């Protein structure tokens, strides 16, 4: 996958986006990166701070051998062209190179190799308020910041009231910005940046710069700029924003392009990548817990019972019958319990419970409550409980499994035997995700029309 993704990153992709192509000419690219790399070098001999006179002399006596300098490749051999009026979402894990890429485009960083070219005025919402002087008033900082953004004195004067009004800082604009809250400080920086007539807008996780009302204003302003043909680069962990706002998505990992193209396709590939990583991490955690339990002389408080019949193994499986620790809310889950009878017992109940990480039991049942008729349990065997749709809200959970008599006497009780997680990309509130179907009817000249909207977002009319 990496090889194909890397080749995509090195090959120019054309975007069929609004305003990117003139009526008579080819696509006009306003951002162009060619074979760009950025390497950060870190010296092995770090400066040491001395808190006491004694530590100073001791340090001089112990002269450690110099360490070799290390380096981190933040961006590796990236070629990228973005046409005028296009909007691109840049996604990836922390440390993948997203912010470094924006800083290379703005000129904050110089590339270690390659070329970066821009065409048009840039507004970078990366570090809002960078350059503001704490002892200057908001008014003075707007004049200074506007000049830094390339506005003339008259342009600043003409837009001053609009900038202040958008930020909602009319009452404090003549106070020193060191008296502002962090939210007020960032709102002033955001308002200034979006009122400089940018042709290229770079946004790096700065949309949560105030209360809900101001965040809505920010999003509306960005949508307005997009409609005016402004080129947008959006760095965010909010994948739904990428799907909603962007014509194209770019997924970076360790400074390399993993995927590029249709936002829905790239976001789905990224989510799959994250889930595979989470699955592997959960498996490692479970393996470590199992190893520590084997080395211990006791099973600990998570397991108890008389063991006339005991649990040998417990696993969670997906629809394909594969062992998993990560599921979606709408996916089926099968609970497999392997057991062994050490003595002849006739009164046996199998119980399960799904417990949230804060110890709230989300669901629990057993074969007695479900009136399941069990066969003879001699020797070893397996019982599987199939849950057609788990319906759990996003979060971390544990599975409890128990073998006991109908009166509650425990044969083998294993609490938290399998950790697992549930993911749900759609926003919802509460602790469960039920399967829904919305239905409404309209009365028109052609008679009654009934339309259903199922929870998966597909329309069904009749």
* Chain segment 239-288, per-residue pLDDT in tens: 888 888 899 999 999 999 999 999 989 998 998 898 888 878 777 776 66
Measure the CA–CA gap between 396 and 393, rounded to whole angstroms. Answer: 9
The CA distances from residue 111 to 103, 158, 270, 329, in Å, are 10, 37, 26, 44
pLDDT for 239 equals 87
pLDDT for 297 equals 37
CATH, range 298-423 = 2.70.50.60
b/e per residue 265-298 (b: at least 16 CB within 10 A): ebbebbeebebeeebeebeeebeeeeeeeeeeee
Look up tokens 């294993």; give the residue. 414
> Within the chain, what is the greatest distance between any pair of CA atoms?
96
Domains 2-43+69-260 and 298-423 share a fold: no
Query: Strand pairing of 459-461 and 231-235?
Result: unpaired
pLDDT for 208 equals 56
pLDDT for 384 equals 95
Confidence of residue 161 (pLDDT cuts 50, 70, 90): very high
| pLDDT tens-digit map of 184-197 | 888 898 899 889 88
pLDDT for 291 equals 55
pLDDT for 12 equals 36
| pLDDT tens-digit map of 289-300 | 555 544 443 443
Predicted confidence (pLDDT) at residue 151 exceeds the cutoff of 50: yes
| pLDDT tens-digit map of 282-324 | 777 766 655 554 444 344 348 999 999 999 999 999 999 999 9
Delimit the domains of the chain by residue range: 2-43+69-260, 298-423, 436-462
Task: Give me the percent of the chain exceeding a pLDDT of 70.
Answer: 79
pLDDT for 422 equals 93
* pTM, rounded to two decimals: 0.67
- Residues paired with residue 336 on neighbouring β-strands, in sequence order: 315, 384
- Residues paired with residue 41 on neighbouring β-strands, in sequence order: 71
Cβ(190)–Cβ(208) under 8 Å?
Answer: no
Residue 321 is classified by DSSP as S
Cβ(221)–Cβ(165) under 8 Å?
Answer: no
Average pLDDT over all residues of the chain: 82
Residue that wins the pLDDT comparison between 341 and 275:
341
Q: Cα 285 vs. chain centroid, distance in angstroms?
A: 21
Residue 344 is classified by DSSP as -
Grouping H, G, I as helix, E, B as strand and the rest as coil, residue 126 is: coil
**Which range has the worst mean pLDDT, 20-29, 159-168, 200-209, 353-362?**
20-29
Inter-axis angle of helices 212-227 and 182-194, nearest 10: 10
pLDDT for 130 equals 63
Composition of the chain by helix, strand, coil, percent to 5? 25, 35, 40
| pLDDT tens-digit map of 72-108 | 899 999 999 999 999 999 999 999 999 899 999 988 8
Both tokens of 266, joined, read 């790239």
pLDDT for 300 equals 36
Both tokens of 62, joined, read 């112990």
CATH, range 2-43+69-260 = 3.40.50.300
pLDDT for 185 equals 85
Question: Which run of H or of E encompasses 451?
Answer: strand 447-454
| CA nearest to 319, candidates 391, 386, 418 | 386
Cβ(324)–Cβ(318) under 8 Å?
Answer: yes
What do you get for the CA distance between the two ends of the chain, in Å? Answer: 43
User: For the residues 402-425, what does the mean pLDDT come to?
Assistant: 92
Measure the CA–CA gap between 366 and 351, rounded to whole angstroms. Answer: 4
Inter-axis angle of helices 153-167 and 182-194, nearest 10: 130
User: For the residues 147-169, what does the mean pLDDT come to?
Assistant: 91
User: For the residues 176-186, what does the mean pLDDT come to?
Assistant: 88
pLDDT for 459 equals 38
**Which range has the worst mean pLDDT, 125-129, 207-211, 457-461?**
457-461
């Amino acid at each position: 996958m990496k090889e194909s993704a890397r080749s995509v990153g090195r090959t120019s992709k054309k975007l069929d986006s609004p305003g990117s192509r003139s009526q008579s000419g080819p696509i006009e690219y306003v951002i162009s990166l060619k074979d760009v790399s950025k390497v950060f070098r870190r010296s092995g001999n770090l400066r040491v701070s001395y808190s006491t006179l004694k530590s100073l002399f001791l340090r001089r006596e112990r002269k450690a051998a110099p360490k070799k300098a290390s380096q981190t490749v933040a961006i590796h051999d990236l070629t990228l062209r973005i046409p005028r009026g296009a909007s691109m979402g840049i996604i990836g894990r922390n440390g993948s190179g997203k912010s470094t890429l924006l800083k290379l485009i703005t000129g904050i960083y110089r590339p270690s190799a390659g070329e970066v070219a821009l065409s048009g005025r840039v507004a970078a919402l990366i570090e809002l308020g960078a350059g503001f002087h704490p002892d200057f008033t908001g008014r003075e900082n707007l004049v200074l910041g506007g000049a830094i953004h390339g506005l003339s004195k008259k342009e600043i004067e003409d837009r001053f009231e609009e900038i202040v009004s958008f930020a909602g800082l009319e009452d404090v604009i003549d106070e020193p910005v060191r008296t502002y809250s962090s939210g007020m400080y960032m709102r002033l920086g955001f308002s200034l940046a979006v009122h400089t007539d940018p042709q290229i807008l770079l946004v790096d996780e700065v949309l949560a710069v105030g209360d809900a009302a101001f965040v809505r204003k920010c999003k509306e302003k960005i949508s307005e700029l997009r409609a005016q043909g402004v080129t947008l680069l959006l760095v965010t962990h909010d994948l739904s924003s990428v799907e909603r706002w962007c014509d194209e998505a770019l997924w970076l990992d360790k400074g390399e392009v993993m995927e590029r193209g249709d936002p829905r396709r790239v976001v789905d590939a990224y989510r799959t990548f994250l889930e595979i990583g989470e699955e592997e991490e959960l498996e490692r955690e479970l393996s470590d817990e199992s190893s520590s339990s084997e080395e211990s002389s006791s099973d600990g408080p998570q397991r108890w019972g008389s063991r006339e019949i005991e649990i040998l193994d417990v696993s969670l499986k997906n629809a394909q019958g594969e062992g998993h620790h990560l599921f979606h809310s709408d996916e089926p889950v099968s609970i497999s319990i392997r057991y062994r009878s050490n003595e002849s017992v006739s009164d046996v109940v199998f119980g399960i419970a799904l417990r949230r990480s804060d110890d709230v039991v989300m669901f629990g049942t057993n074969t007695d409550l479900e009136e399941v008729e069990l066969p003879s349990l001699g020797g070893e065997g397996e019982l599987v409980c199939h849950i057609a749709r788990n319906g759990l809200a996003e979060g971390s959970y544990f599975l409890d499994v128990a073998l006991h008599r109908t009166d509650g006497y425990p044969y083998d009780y294993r609490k938290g035997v399998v950790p697992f997680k549930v993911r749900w990309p759609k926003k919802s509130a509460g602790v469960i995700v039920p399967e829904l179907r919305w239905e409404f009817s309209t009365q028109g000249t052609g008679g009654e029309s009934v339309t259903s909207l199922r929870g998966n977002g597909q329309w069904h009319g009749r």
